[in-house]
Structure 1
C-alpha cells in the first residue's frame, strides 16, 4: 500500500504528547480502508526516556470480494423469468486503498399465456446492465490533496459509470448510460451527509415499433417520459440514525432533494438564452428539468428482547417543468414488492385509481407516478431461539400506499391526486412472515394478502378482491424490509 495512504491516516507526529483520542481515530481510519483484516498498536518505552515507539501490526485482507444474486420474477401480466446480478470488487486498487467494483446484471421474461394480446408464448423482454465504480475511503478534493485528511470522521468518494439496456419485444428498445460523482461524510455517528454534485444520465430509444407508436399517440403524457433526453442533476441527502446508542426506541430518518437541469439552464442564460425557453438541448437532445423530494422515517419500538414493533412512513413528490413537463420514467415513484406493499408485485399499483388491466394495450407498462405515499406497520416476535445455529422469528404486517400523477392525464382517468378519493385510492394489504436470523444474514419469507385495491374490480365493498388467490403475494428476500 502506498506510503501516502497510510500517512494520511496517522494522526501522530514525532514529539507530540500521547493521545488516546488520536490512537482511536488512527485505528478507525485504518479499519475504514477495508484493506486490513486487523490492526494492532504496540507501544514500547525507550530506555531512560519519556518517549514511546509505536509499532503497528496489520494483516492484509483477501484482495477480492464477489457476490452472485439470483431471482425469479412473476407478474400479473402473465410474464415470468429469471434474473442474475454479479458483483466483483478489487480491494486496494493501485495500492491506493480504494475499491474497484464491477457489477453485471441481466434478466429476461417471457409470456406464459397465449391469452395475452391473443398471441402465442414468446420471450418478450430482457434487461442487461453493467456498472464500474471506484470508491475511495476519504474525500477526494483538490484542496486537501497531499495533506492529512482534516475530516477525522468517516468519509467516502465514489466515481461511477454505467450502461443499461431494456428491450420490450413488439414495443421498444431503450439504452441508458451515464455517470456520477458523489461524496459522503459523517461528522457525527448519528448524522450522515451525501452530496452528488454530478449525475449525468442519457436515455435514448433505439427502436420503436408501430404498436408502440399507436399507444404513444393515444397516451402522449405516459410515453413522453420515455423520450430521448439528457438528465443532468445534483442531489443532497441527509440521514439520521440513532441505532448505535442501542436505545429502546430507535429512529432512522432520511431526506433527499434532487434538482435537474437548473444549473444547465443557468449556463444557457449566461450565453444569452432565456431561462424559461423550452426545448433547450444538450448533446443534441432536450434535457430534463425537475425538482424531486423524498422523505422516509422508520421507528422501531423494542417491547422486549424478543418482541419489536417496527413502523415506516415515506413519501415523495417530483415536479417537472420548463424544458420537460413530464418527469423521466427512471425518476418516477412506484410501490409494491418485497420491501413495499407486500400483497402486490413491484409497479403493479397506481397511479391513483387507474389500472392498465382495463386496457390490454397498456398491460405491459409499469405503473409509476409523480407523488408517492406509503405506510407500513410490522410486529416482530421470536418463535424459536438457537434454531439450527440461528433464531427463527415471525412477523405480522399491514402495508398501505399508492402513487399518483401531478397533472391530469385524459388517457389514464383517475390517475391524478385527488383529496376527495384519497382513502379509496390507497392500496391496503396485510400478511405474515417468517425470518431466519443468523446475525450476519437474515432470510425472509413473506406472505401478503390484499385487502383493498384502488381500482374498480366489479366487486362492491371495501374488500374488493375478486378471488383470494388473486390478491396473494409471496416474497423471498434477504434482510428486513425496513
Structure 2
C-alpha cells in the first residue's frame, strides 16, 4: 500500500511541476502565442481538413487538450552553459569546493550534461508558436487559391487576430467569402492523332470532366492522368503527359458562372538535332519478345550459345539453357502481335520477381528495323545463385511468451526441377521466458523449442490438370508443399509436433488474396503427461481439496504428484474403490475429463480456405479497412473412409488412426479491422472486431487445445493476462482457460506524443464461451443473447516507441467490467494499478 501511494505521489508531483510551467515563458512582451485557428466560410465555422491544412501556422500540439510538448520545451534553459558558469561563480568558493570534491574535469562534464539535457528538452519539446503576420497573410492567400481551385473564382479571404483574456495569447480567425461557384459548360475535344481520337471516344464516358459539374482543378489533373494511363495501355508506347493541354474559357459577363472547356491533345514533339519535329501518335505493336536468361554486363557483348524458340518467344542463353522455357514464359505477359501496354510490362516485372530465381529484371523496348510502330521487347534476366544460406536472430513476444530469442538458419536451392522451383530447408530454435509455465527453479529461460522444416515452392499451381482458365497466371498462383517437425520443452506438457500441408495461393486483385490448404495434417504428441498436475495447478488444487474433504488424506497432507497418488485417487473414485459425495464425484470426473483432453495426442487432418481483402494503398495510408474470413473442415475424409478401412475404435467408441483418435470439426472466423486518419496525421482511430467458432462433431466431442480460443493477452483484451479471461462468467478457474467460441471488439485511439514516442487510449471488449461441446458448466456455456452480458470490458492506456522498422509497445489494462463477479457488481471492482495487467508487445495489436 505504501509503495502504491508513493507511486501516486510521484505522478502528482511530476504533474504539478509540468503544469506549473508558464506557457508563455519564452514569449516576448510584443509577441502573441497562437492558441487557436478558426476558419469560417460564408459565415459558418468550417472543419474541412483540406482547408485547415492550408494554414502555415498551427497551435502547439496538445495531449488531452494540454500542450505537453510546449511545457517540455519550456523546462529547458536558454544559454544553459553560461547560466551554469554564472551559478558556479555566484559564490566565490563554490567552484573551488566542487573542484576539490570532484575534479575540474568532472565539474566541466556536469556543465556538458546540463547542456545536453537542455538540448534534449528542446528537441523533444515544441517551441511556442508565435503569431507571424507574414505567415498569416500567406495563409490568407493560400486559402483564397484553395477555394478558387474548387470553382469559387471570386473568393475573398481575410483574417483577424483575436487577443485572449490571458496574457500574450491570441487566436486567429480566417474568414472566406466564396461567392458563387463556377460550373463546366460545353466540353470540346480536339485531338490531332486519329488513333488517339478513336481510343478517347471508346472511353470518354469515364472522363472526370462533365458538363454541369462544379469546376475543380483536381479534376483536370485526374483527367490528364486517366488519359495518360489509358493511352499507354492502348498501344501508344511513346505518349507523353504534356501533350494534354486543357484550357478553360472565361465568363466575361460574370453572370451565368459557366465555363466552356477545350481539351486539346497535341501530337508528339521530339527534338531531332537542332529542331523540334512533330509526330503523330500511332498504336504500337509487339513484333518480337526476346528473353536473355543469364545476362550480365560482362557477357553483354558476347554471342549467345544456346537459343530456343518457344511459342512466340525466343529464349537465349550463354550456356546450356538451365530452365524449362514454360517456367519463364509463364511470367511474361507481352506477346508477339499484342498492342503495347504498360500493364503488361508491370505484370512481367512482378511475376518474374515472384519466381525468386532472378534478380530484378530489365525490360527494354526498341523499334524493329525502320518501323515506327513495331517494337521488339528485350527481357534481360540475371539468375541468383543456385544456393544461398541465411541466418536470422529475432526477439519475439507473444500472448503466452514474455520474452524470447529465436535463431534460424536456412538453405535455399533454386530452380530445383528446372521450373524455377525453390527448396527451403530451415532449422530453428527458440529460448523464451514465460510466467505461465510451472517451473520449480523459476529459471528465466524456461521455454525451449527446436524444429526443422522442408518447404518446396512452385511458381504455379501444382495440380493434375491445367487450372489456367480458373486461376489465370496474372493472379500469381503459387503452390507450397511443406513438411516439418518441432520439439517443445517446458511449454505445458512438452510436445512433439509433425506437420505437413499443400497450400495454394493466388491474388485475383491487388487487394484480394486467397489461400487454400487442400490438405493439412498435424500430429501433436504430448511427451510429459505425468507433469499435468504440476502445470495445471488449479486442477490439482480442486482434486486435493476433494481428497482432504473426503478423508482420503489428512487435512494437513497433500496428494503426491511424483508418486502417482493423484492418478490413483482418481482411479479409486471412478472405480468406486473409495466413496465420495455426489458433489465430490462431479469434481473428480470434471478434473479427469479435462486431464484426459489436455494430455491426449491429437491427429488433425484438415482443409482450409482463407480470404483477405486489404484496402490499404501504401504504407503511409492510415485510412483503410481489412477483412479476413476463414473456413476449416477437419476429419471428414478420415470419417468417410473409417468404415471401409476398418479403423479401430478406442474405449469411447471413437475411430483411431495409428492409435490416435482423429479430430473432426468445422471452424470459421471473421476478422474486420478499420483505421481512420483523424485531422492530424499522427492521430489514428483503430477498430477491430473478431468472431470465431469451432464446432466438434462425429469423431470428436471437443476441440483440440491447439485449435481452441483463449481470451486476454497483449493482442487481445489487455486487462486480462493470456488464458485468464473466461470462459463466460466462470471466473477463470483454470490455469489455461480456453473454449471454442470467441467474440472480441477493440477500439484504440493512437496519437503522437513527442519525437518517436506515441501514446494510445484503448477499450477491449470480449470473451470466450463453450458451445456444442461436452462442457456442461452453465457458467462457461454460451446460451444465446443472454450470454452477451458476460462480455468483459478492459480499458487503459499505452506508450509506444517507433523504431521505424518495428514498434515497441507498453500497455496498461484495467478491468472495467468483469463478468466473473455477480451481475450488478461487475463494474470497477479491480480498477486500480495493483490489479492492472502490464503488457509488453511488438508492433500494434491490430
SS in structure 1 opposite 2:474? coil
The reply on whether 1:442 has 2:442 as its aligned counterpart is: no
**Which of 375, 378, 382 is the aligned partner of 1:52?**
375
Judge conservation of contact 1:431–1:447 (CA < 8 Å) in 2.
Answer: yes
Asked if 2 retains the 8 angstrom alpha-carbon contact of 1:35 and 1:91, the reply is no
CA drift of 1:408 comes to 6.3
3-state DSSP of counterpart to 2:344:
helix
Q: Which residue of 382, 390, 394 corresponds with 2:759?
A: 394
Q: How does 1:121-140 map to 2 (within 5 A)?
A: 121=442, 126-130=447-451, 131-140=453-462
Instruction: Please name the residue that 2:663 is paired with.
Output: 288
Report the counterpart of residue 264 of structure 1 in structure 2: 638
> Residue 336 and residue 432 in structure 1: after superposition, are their counterparts in 2 closer, same or farther (change >3 A)?
same
> CA 1:72–1:266 in 2, change beyond 3 Å: closer, same or farther?
closer
Matched, 1:239 2:608: no
The equivalent of 2:827 in structure 1 is 462
Contact between 1:429 and 1:449, CA under 8 Å: does it hold in 2?
Answer: yes
TM-score (norm 2): 0.48
Q: Out of 675, 685, 701, which is 1:325 matched to?
A: 701
- 1:190-210 CA-to-partner distances (Å, cap 9, x unmatched) read 222111110011122334327
> How far apart in 2 are the matches of 1:252 and 1:80?
28
Deviation at 1:376, TM superposition (A): 0.7
2:498 touches 2:524 (CA, 8 Å); kept in 1?
A: yes
The answer to whether structure 1 residue 229 and structure 2 residue 605 are counterparts is no
- Counterpart residue number, 2:628: 254
Deviation at residue 448 of structure 1 after TM alignment: 2.0
Change (3 A) 1:146 1:152: closer
Match of 1:300?
Answer: 675
| Structure with greater helix percent | 2
Change (3 A) 1:303 1:142: same
Report the TM-score, using the length of structure 1 for normalisation: 0.81
Higher alpha-carbon deviation: 62-71 or 429-438: 62-71
Does residue 801 of structure 2 align to residue 431 of structure 1?
Answer: no
Distance 1:235 1:461, change over 3 A: closer
- Please, which of 346, 352, 356 is the counterpart of residue 34 of structure 1? 356
Structure ranking higher on relative contact order (CA contacts 8 Å, 6+ apart)? 1
The match for 1:86 is 408
Matches within 5 A, 1:96-115: 96-98=420-422, 100=424, 102-109=426-433
SS in structure 1 opposite 2:676?
A: strand
Q: Which piece of structure 1 moves more, 338-347 or 371-380?
A: 338-347
Q: Distance in 1 between matches of 2:757 and 2:432?
A: 34
Deviations along 1:49-94, whole A, 9 cap, x unmatched?
Answer: 454333234455684554321247897xxx9774425363627353
Question: How far apart, CA to CA, are the structure 1 residues paired with 2:468 and 2:685?
Answer: 49
The DSSP-based 3-state class of the residue aligned with 2:642 is helix
Closer, same or farther in 2 for the Cα pair 1:181/1:10, shift >3 Å?
A: same
Choose between structure 1 and 2: higher strand proportion: 1
Return the alpha-carbon distance in structure 1 between the equivalents of residues 494 and 809 of structure 2. 34
Q: C-alpha offsets along residues 150-209 of structure 1, whole Å, 9 cap, x if unaligned?
A: 42122222222222334449x844322121111111112222211111001112233432
Cα deviation, residue 415, structure 1: 2.1
Q: Provide the rounded CA distance (Å) in 2 between the counterparts of 1:240 and 1:146.
A: 23
Quick one: structure 1 residues 382 and 321, their matched pair in 2 at CA, closer, same or farther if it must change by over 3 Å? same
Q: Is the 8 A contact 2:757 2:799 kept in 1?
A: no
Q: Which residue, 310, 314, 338 being the options, matches 2:714?
A: 338
- How many residue pairs get aligned? The number is 457
- C-alpha change, 1:123 and 1:211, in structure 2 (3 Å) is farther
Give the one of 739, 745, 752 matched to 1:382.
752
1:174 aligned residue (487, 495, 511): 495
Secondary structure, counterpart of 2:353 in structure 1: helix
Q: In the superposition, relative to structure 1, how do residues 466 and 46 fare at CA in structure 2: closer, same or farther (>3 Å)?
A: closer
Q: CA deviation at 1:243?
A: 1.6
Tell me the CA shift for residue 313 of structure 1.
Answer: 0.2
Q: Equivalents in 1 of 2:668, 2:792: separation in Å?
A: 21
Preserved contact between residue 262 and residue 289 of structure 1 (Cα < 8 Å): yes
Contact kept in structure 1, 2:482 and 2:501, CA below 8 Å: yes
2:511 equivalent to 1:200: no
SS of 1:152 mapped into structure 2:
helix
The Cα shift of 1:288 comes to 0.5
Aligned position for 2:510: 189
TM-superposed deviation, 1:423: 2.6
Taking structure 1 as reference, are residues 427 and 168 closer, same or farther at Cα in structure 2, changes over 3 Å only? farther
Unaligned runs of 5+ in 2: 1-321, 534-565, 571-587
Tell me the C-alpha RMSD between the 2 structures.
Answer: 3.8
1:442, 1:109 → 2: CA distance?
21
* Structure (1 or 2) with the larger CA radius of gyration: 2
